[in-house]
């Protein structure tokens, strides 16, 4: 019996032993593969070890490799180098985040805060700053070998210039953000501006009042709150869109860190919680100070952790744990890893593995500086997802999340596909509307944001090695001073929401001008950069210094359309006035200057003007941005490819006049009839106003179609609506009371001003026909003059 | 002797059972999900509130933010979207097998596809499918789950007239030479392997 029992037990054991293991074959093949190819440095291997016990890569795999290739010791220098490389990249990521938030502040209303803390804490650090009182000679040596800091300064400057320019052809290198190609071009500042405004307006009164009543303790995260029934019942839009939007708003972001903070902020919004009151709370001084404090904290913490780490005794001693499996993507070796195919049984395999395994620690890592931890502390302002990305990927993703995806979406959007109620549709509409009205926006456009400029200046640091074009943009924006130390002056206006209440059609901005006219025929004016209403609903933009060559044959847009950036423009305008009228460069063009310009200009032509005339002339120069003088300038800028030469004059270019002439020549070559005439008067606008000789007058040809079905009045009204280039030129001439010649069909009229009124005189052509069209024509011109 | 024989028989049957439990036959494997799906159908009739579309309203937000689940008391939730989707699909995380979960999620997905479109300023398509949004946000885990749950991958979005595979291809072209290109290519391969097609192939 015992025998049978034993036998049965034995049989069952043997049967158990034979039970097939469904995964056995796989495991065996994996082991076999590992023995045949002891390659730890494959993406799949590194990926497989990611997040697991750190001993796996530096233990099991390393042991397998050492069995074949001999012992690999930890390489202190290599570890230090990789550690520093990764930590510096994380530092750059954090700076990118800080810069972007600061740039956004430039286009928003003012909070009245001077950013004193941030200016101090976010000041550009150099290698020398880090090396100062640094205990680690190894760190000092490594820092001296890297161009990280000089590159960083350049990247920051280029990014600021790229954000603020309207020139789509301006793509400076290197930059912090990796921009992908877009289907159309919309100035980045416009996207930032319009989106921030739309985000604010997305929060309706009903929702804000509801949030005020929320009990924050009910929610673990802000996302939980957003997806709660209480929230959803009060918000008709898409909460994903709303949340993303609020995260992208620099003054909201800090309130999204916890439900408590979120609710607290909304409780500070006065009732009724409409958008105006929301903006009061958002742009309040205390909220501005919160922004300043957090930005300063981010800058300070980031650089302090970096410095404390690399200058520590631990760094010097090599007590560093780079955790190669988890940080692989952030290491230098990851960038030059050969492909898996190349690696098989070659020397590269051995080298590559040695390089990786040299980073493995041999002793307990608890007392070492842990790269993962340090990186997380350096990237203090980054989200967990952003922290996980290596620098290259971060640069792409950050661009896409802040600008790229939205721009792409706006490029493809039409009135038909614009989904009412969505935030992106609201941004789209704002971009469309921005060209129509601009009164309040214009004030903001020309206003100074000296506080943010000071912050940006502090962040940029050394500007001695900047490219000319970048430098010019930053100078014109008042961010960095000219070579002589002078900062381009910008008008000071109260940049508060209550003093500049904007409708949905009017946006706050600084450093950006909302174009006034939006002729659908203009495809190459700066205005179209923010004008999706062009015939194919795509955005094109040339703005600041466009090299527009393709479609500018008959384009002479309104002056304000030509230059997106009023601040930039003002600097250029000043220089143009000086150059045209013989003023010394780099001298402020205020009212007194303008009077002197007028006086000198006339004097040089052997004429004298009365003090009244002098004042009138000066006022005209100072008060009318669309005056023909700057228009001439703008035309030149618009049509001068890569005209950094012209802009160089802003900072005191030496051959300004010759370049100016060159610009005119180019404009003439573009075949701009009206522009050519206007340009031909570059000997100043003042004489044009007093000298009525026909040969000096601008000639405008007005195209009127012969259509018996359409009345003359309708035809003229259509012209006004279309606001085509000729109409725009007429507007400029009429509003500046310039005498000019007008050709309609075979008739030539002369428009001569007498004070505020003009006389319409027939110079040549069919008298009867002229008499017939005169009433409508006069009406048309009067409308344009208004 | 009788006891010994009985013991032998019991041991033998245990062994046979053990073998059966570890390695299912092909027929059993094929039938198992069907049986479970049938069970789900029965369950569904008992719970009229399932799937619950209200729970899907914040799904895009969880995909966009790649948030981890904050309630760590369950064994299976890792991501916020999983909880949201499972709650909408009435998945019982502690009872339902993977096959049941998949079928419940499919049901919730199919019945509420119109709600699974995302709007975001970080998304280049307004009202594009949540799958495309996940691609755009480089949220690989969501795509892996979608494949695991056998979600319909070949819907053509009204917003852009393209399938998710078309969208990825377009993104690859836009990101040529950029660091995100390899990620996009891996999504392309993964979804194609799972049966995703271009619009032109449908």
CB pairs under 8 A between A and B: 150
Helix (H) / strand (E) containing A646: helix A644-648
What is residue A617's predicted lDDT score, i.e. its pLDDT? Answer: 63
The answer to whether the Cβ–Cβ distance between A223 and B67 falls below 8 Å is yes
Angle at B167 between CA B164 and CA B171, to 5 degrees: 140
Q: How far is CA A143 from CA A146, A311, A458, in A?
A: 5, 11, 22
Q: Which region among A162-171, A294-303, A572-581, B113-122 has the lowest average model confidence (pLDDT)?
A: A572-581
In chain A, which residue's Cα lies nearest the Cα of B120? Answer: A241
Of residues A574 and B75, the one with the higher pLDDT is B75
Q: Which region among A104-113, A120-129, A607-616, B188-197 has the lowest average model confidence (pLDDT)?
A: A607-616
Nearest Cα to Cα of residue A304 among A83, A85, A76, A87: A87
Angle at A335 between CA A333 and CA A339, to 5 degrees: 95
The answer to whether the Cβ–Cβ distance between B64 and A240 falls below 8 Å is yes
- The SS3 of residue A310 is helix
The answer to whether the Cβ–Cβ distance between B23 and A239 falls below 8 Å is no
Q: Are A237 and A421 in contact (CB under 8 A)?
A: yes
Tell me B128's DSSP state: E
What tokens appear for B46 in the block? Answer: 């008992």
Best mutation target among A240, A401, A409, A410 (most B Cβ atoms within 10 Å) is A240
What is residue A456's predicted lDDT score, i.e. its pLDDT? Answer: 93
pLDDT > 70 fraction of chain A, expressed in percent and rounded: 62
What number is the average pLDDT over the span A46-55? 56
Could you tell me if A121 lies within 8 Å of chain B, comparing CB atoms? no
Give the predicted TM-score (pTM) of the model: 0.65
What number is the average pLDDT over the span A149-174? 90
Q: Are A45 and A61 in contact (CB under 8 A)?
A: yes
- The SS3 of residue A157 is helix
pLDDT band at A512 (very low <50, low <70, confident <90, very high): very low
Is the pLDDT at A695 greater than 70? The verdict is no
Could you tell me if B132 lies within 8 Å of chain A, comparing CB atoms? no
Which DSSP string do the residues of A252-298 spell out, in sequence order?
TGGGGS-HHHHHHHHHTSPSS--HHHHHHHHTSHHHHHHHHHHHHHH
From the list A16, A229, A241, the residue facing B121 with the nearest CB is: A241
Which DSSP string do the residues of A675-690 spell out, in sequence order?
HHHHHTTTT-HHHHHH
Helix (H) / strand (E) containing A702: strand A698-702
In chain B, which residue's Cα lies nearest the Cα of A8? Answer: B8
What is residue A691's predicted lDDT score, i.e. its pLDDT? Answer: 38
- The CA distance from A468 to A577, in Å, is 22
What is residue B5's predicted lDDT score, i.e. its pLDDT? Answer: 53
pLDDT > 90 fraction of chain A, expressed in percent and rounded: 20
What's the pLDDT tens digit per position in A374-415?
999 999 999 988 998 999 999 999 999 999 999 998 988 888
Strand partners, A753: A758
Of residues A627 and A445, the one with the higher pLDDT is A445
What's the pLDDT tens digit per position in B37-62?
444 444 444 445 788 888 888 899 99
What's the pLDDT tens digit per position in A593-633?
666 766 765 565 556 666 766 666 665 555 443 333 333 22
What's the pLDDT tens digit per position in A706-727?
666 677 888 888 888 888 778 8
Q: What values do phi and psi take at A741, rounded to 5? A: -105, 140
Could you tell me if A201 lies within 8 Å of chain B, comparing CB atoms? no
- The CA distance from A180 to A396, in Å, is 8
Which positions 424-453 of A are in contact with B (Cβ < 8 Å)? Answer: 424-425, 427
- The CA distance from A40 to A52, in Å, is 15
Nearest Cα to Cα of residue A111 among A288, A323, A360: A288
In chain B, which residue's Cα lies nearest the Cα of A191? Answer: B121
Chain B environment of A230 (Cβ under 8 Å): none
Could you tell me if A234 lies within 8 Å of chain B, comparing CB atoms? no
Nearest-Cα distance to chain B for A219, in Å, is: 10
What number is the average pLDDT over the span A11-30? 42
Tell me B137's DSSP state: T
What radius of gyration do chain A's Cα atoms show? 33
What tokens appear for B116 in the block? Answer: 């699974």
Mean pLDDT for chain B?
80
Nearest-Cα distance to chain A for B121, in Å, is: 5
Is the pLDDT at A40 greater than 50? The verdict is yes
Could you tell me if A22 lies within 8 Å of chain B, comparing CB atoms? yes
What is residue A579's predicted lDDT score, i.e. its pLDDT? Answer: 45
Chain A environment of B179 (Cβ under 8 Å): 178, 390, 392-393, 395-396
């Amino acid at each position: 019996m015992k025998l049978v029992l034993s036998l049965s037990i034995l049989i069952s054991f043997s049967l158990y032993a034979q039970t097939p293991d469904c995964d056995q074959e796989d495991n065996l093949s994996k082991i076999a593969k590992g023995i045949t190819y002891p390659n730890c440095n494959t993406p799949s291997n590194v990926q497989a070890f990611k997040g697991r016990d750190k001993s796996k890569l530096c233990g099991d795999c390393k042991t397998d490799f050492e069995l074949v290739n001999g012992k690999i010791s930890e390489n202190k220098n290599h570890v230090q180098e990789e550690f520093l490389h990764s930590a510096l990249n994380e530092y750059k990521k954090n700076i990118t985040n800080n810069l972007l938030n600061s740039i956004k502040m430039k286009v928003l209303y003012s909070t009245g805060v001077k950013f004193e803390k941030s200016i101090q804490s976010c000041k550009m650090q150099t290698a020398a700053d880090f090396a100062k009182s640094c205990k680690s000679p190894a760190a000092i040596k490594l820092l001296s070998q890297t161009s990280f800091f000089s590159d960083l300064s350049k990247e920051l400057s280029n990014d600021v210039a790229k954000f603020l320019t309207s020139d789509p052809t301006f793509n400076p290198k290197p930059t912090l953000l990796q921009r992908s190609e877009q289907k159309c071009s919309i100035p980045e500042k416009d996207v930032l501006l319009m989106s921030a405004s739309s985000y604010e307006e997305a929060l309706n009164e009903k929702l804000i009042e509801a949030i005020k009543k929320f009990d924050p303790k009910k929610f673990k995260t802000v996302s939980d709150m957003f997806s709660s029934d209480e929230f959803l019942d009060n918000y008709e839009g898409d909460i994903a869109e709303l949340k993303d939007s609020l995260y992208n708003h620099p003054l909201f972001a800090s309130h999204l860190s916890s439900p408590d903070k979120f609710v607290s902020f909304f409780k500070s919004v006065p009732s009724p919680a409409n958008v105006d009151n929301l903006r009061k709370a958002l742009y309040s001084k205390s909220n501005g100070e919160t922004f300043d404090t957090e930005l300063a904290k981010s800058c300070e913490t980031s650089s302090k952790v970096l410095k404390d780490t690399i200058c520590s005794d631990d760094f010097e001693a090599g007590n560093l744990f780079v955790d190669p499996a988890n940080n692989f993507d952030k290491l230098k070796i990851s960038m030059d890893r050969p492909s898996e195919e190349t690696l098989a049984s070659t020397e590269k395999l051995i080298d590559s593995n040695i390089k990786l395994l040299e980073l493995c620690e041999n002793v307990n890592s608890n007392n070492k500086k842990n790269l993962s931890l340090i990186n997380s502390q350096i990237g203090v302002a980054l989200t967990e997802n952003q922290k996980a990305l290596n620098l290259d990927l971060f640069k792409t993703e950050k661009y896409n999340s802040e600008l790229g995806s939205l721009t792409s979406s706006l490029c493809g959007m039409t009135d038909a596909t614009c989904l009412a109620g969505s935030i992106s549709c609201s941004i789209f509409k704002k971009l469309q509307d921005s060209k129509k009205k601009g009164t309040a926006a214009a004030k903001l456009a020309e206003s100074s944001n000296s506080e943010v400029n000071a912050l940006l200046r502090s962040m940029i640091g050394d500007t001695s090695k900047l490219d000319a074009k970048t430098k010019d943009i930053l100078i014109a924006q008042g961010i960095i001073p000219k070579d002589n130390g002078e900062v381009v002056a910008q008008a000071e206006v109260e940049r508060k929401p209550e003093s500049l209440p904007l409708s949905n059609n009017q946006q706050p901005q600084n450093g950006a001008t909302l174009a006034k006219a939006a002729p659908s025929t203009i495809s190459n004016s700066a205005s179209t950069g923010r004008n999706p209403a062009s015939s194919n609903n795509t955005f094109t933009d040339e703005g600041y210094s466009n090299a527009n060559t393709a479609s500018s044959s008959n384009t002479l847009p309104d002056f304000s359309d030509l230059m997106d950036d009023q601040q930039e423009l003002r600097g250029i305008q000043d220089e143009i006035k000086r150059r045209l009228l013989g003023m010394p460069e780099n001298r402020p063009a205020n009212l007194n200057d303008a009077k002197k310009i007028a006086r000198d200009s006339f004097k040089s032509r052997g004429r004298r003007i009365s003090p009244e005339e002098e004042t009138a002339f000066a006022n005209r120069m100072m008060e009318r941005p669309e005056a023909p003088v700057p228009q001439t300038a703008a035309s030149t800028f618009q049509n001068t490819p890569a005209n950094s030469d012209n802009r160089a004059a802003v900072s005191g270019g030496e051959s300004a006049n010759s370049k100016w002439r060159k610009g005119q020549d180019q404009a003439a070559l573009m075949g701009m009839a009206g522009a050519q005439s206007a340009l031909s008067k570059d000997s100043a606008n003042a004489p044009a106003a007093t000298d009525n000789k026909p040969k000096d007058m601008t000639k405008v040809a007005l195209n009127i179609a012969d259509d018996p079905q359409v009345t003359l009045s309708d035809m003229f009204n259509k012209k006004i609506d279309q606001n085509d280039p000729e109409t725009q030129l007429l507007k400029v001439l009429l509003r500046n009371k310039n005498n000019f010649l007008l050709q309609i069909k075979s008739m030539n009229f002369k428009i001569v001003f007498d004070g505020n009124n003009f006389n319409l005189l027939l110079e040549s052509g069919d008298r009867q026909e002229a008499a017939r069209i005169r009433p409508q024509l006069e009406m048309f011109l009067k409308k344009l003059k208004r | 002797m009788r006891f010994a024989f009985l013991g032998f028989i019991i041991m033998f049957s245990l062994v046979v059972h053990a073998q059966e439990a570890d390695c299912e036959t092909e027929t059993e494997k094929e039938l198992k999900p069907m049986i479970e799906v049938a069970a789900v159908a029965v369950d569904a009739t008992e719970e009229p509130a399932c799937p619950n579309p209200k729970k899907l309203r914040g799904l895009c937000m969880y995909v966009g933010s790649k948030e981890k689940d904050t309630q760590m008391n369950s064994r299976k939730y890792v991501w916020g979207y999983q909880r949201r989707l499972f709650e909408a699909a009435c998945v019982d995380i502690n009872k339902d097998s993977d096959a049941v979960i998949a079928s419940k999620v499919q049901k919730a997905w199919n019945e509420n596809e119109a709600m699974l479109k995302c709007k975001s300023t970080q998304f280049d398509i307004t009202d594009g499918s949540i799958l495309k949004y996940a691609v755009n946000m480089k949220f690989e885990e969501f795509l892996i789950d979608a494949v695991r749950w056998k979600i319909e991958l070949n819907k053509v979005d009204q917003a852009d007239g393209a399938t998710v595979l078309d969208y990825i291809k377009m993104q690859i072209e836009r990101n040529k030479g950029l660091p995100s290109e390899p990620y996009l290519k891996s999504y392309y391969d993964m979804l194609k392997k799972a049966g995703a097609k271009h619009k032109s192939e449908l």
